Amino acid sequence: MSVDESSAAMLLAGFRAWLVRERGLSQETVRCYGIQAGIFLAWLSGVGPVDSAVRQLDSGQVTAFMVEYCRGRNRWSAKAMATSLRALLRFLHASGRTSTPLTAAVPGLAGWRVASLPRGLDAAVVARLLGSCDRMTVVGRRDYAILTMLARLGLRGAEVISLDLDDIDWRGGELVVHGKGNRVDRLPLQVDVGDAIVAYLIDGRSACAARAVFCTVRAPYRPLTAAALRQVMGRACHRASLPRAGAHRLRHSLATDMLRAGASLPEVGQVLRHRSQLSTMIYAKVDENALRPLARAWPPGARSRPGCAAPPRTIWRCGGRSASS
């Protein structure tokens, strides 16, 4: 390792420690921020030695890096870098490595929180995913327990892999979930979820020093990572002959199913443990029961059947003449 690489490694170590100490971020978030910050420092090392380059850092360099990095990347990758870079710049200023705060130099990225529809999966599709797991094998029992937790409890992927054996209160029938922003919640342990976990723990999970519930099936036994969880979901989609989907799709599926069953938006937000009502508002677009009274007949003045907002016949225009189906 060169002197410059050593300086960058020490700087990143200090940045990670600061994120934990001052920001109280989770281990997974600190890991992601560190990766993104390392990309920026590697880019900065092209200007000169990292220590001196950081001291001479200006807003023009910050903006130039973001413009270069975002070229050809999707919005989510760009937003992740922008968030991590702002945190790094705050750390550099707080630790005296830069004389002025440079967070304002990171360009803002367009994004509308409720612009898109939540992409949930139908109940039949979720059943196919769960049914694709071969519960006669160790891997199948583990994957079935993971997918059941995602689908029935609406947990995030990071919350599933961070679950420890001590987080399950079997006598009280509760589950301790460590969520975003170091939030801790206690959820009821549903029967089917508990049965799936028990089947895996009794006849599947290998005895190891790790306290994580879900571990690898081959030695050396380690807790599952976020990448491994994505593979679990990807394999299930492949077995069920479905397009590849992320674990978060099961969280959306639970929310949309609740709405269609008559649950209110506040109730959905409570189950998903949203800190802000804005996070739940996106599901208002798929709340068919609430949207039905707002639908208006088309064309204006057309009479509709009772209980149906659309007219009985579809009307369109072709070559200046009207036709009806």
43 shares a domain with 130 = no
Average confidence (pLDDT) over 34-59: 90
**Active-site pick, 180, 239, 260, 273:** 180
Check residue 325 and give its pLDDT. 36
* Number of domains the chain is built from: 3
Whether 113 is in a domain gets the answer no
219 shares a domain with 300 = no
82 shares a domain with 150 = no
What is the CB neighbour count within 10 angstroms for residue 141?
24
**Active-site pick, 86, 156, 205, 249:** 156
* Range in 10-14, 92-96, 117-121, 292-296 the model is least confident about: 292-296
* Range in 107-111, 112-116, 202-206 the model is least confident about: 112-116
Domain harbouring 135, CATH code: 1.10.443.10
156 is catalytic: yes
What gap in Å lies between CA 152 and CA 271, rounded to an integer? Answer: 11
Whether 115 is in a domain gets the answer no
pLDDT at 47 over 80: no
Token pair listed for 162: 């961070």
Q: Pick from 44, 77, 105: which residue ends a domain?
A: 105
Q: What is the tens place of the pLDDT at every residue in 117-169?
A: 667 788 899 999 999 999 999 999 999 999 999 999 999 998 999 999 999 99
Check residue 119 and give its pLDDT. 72
Residue 105: pLDDT band (50, 70, 90) is very high
Domain harbouring 22, CATH code: 1.10.150.130
308 is in which domain, residue-wise? 295-325
142 shares a domain with 98 = no
**Active-site pick, 248, 260, 273, 285:** 248
Question: Residue 196 is which amino acid?
Answer: A
Check residue 323 and give its pLDDT. 40
202 shares a domain with 181 = yes
283 is catalytic: yes
Whether 84 is in a domain gets the answer yes
Q: For the whole model, what pTM was predicted?
A: 0.66
Q: What is the tens place of the pLDDT at every residue in 2-12?
A: 555 788 899 99
152 shares a domain with 225 = yes
198 shares a domain with 262 = yes
274 is catalytic: yes
251 is catalytic: yes
C-alpha separations of 43 from 11, 48, 68, 69, 70 in Å: 14, 10, 10, 10, 13
Question: Residue 257 is which amino acid?
Answer: D
What gap in Å lies between CA 20 and CA 12, rounded to an integer? Answer: 13
249 shares a domain with 220 = yes
Strands 321-324 and 184-188: unpaired
Write phi, then psi, for 48 (nearest 5 degrees).
165, -170
148 shares a domain with 281 = yes
pLDDT at 24 over 60: yes
Whether 49 is in a domain gets the answer yes
Residue 280: pLDDT band (50, 70, 90) is confident
Angle of the 75-94 helix axis to the 27-44 helix axis, nearest 10: 80
127 shares a domain with 212 = yes
Q: What is the tens place of the pLDDT at every residue in 246-267?
A: 888 898 888 888 888 888 888 8
299 shares a domain with 277 = no
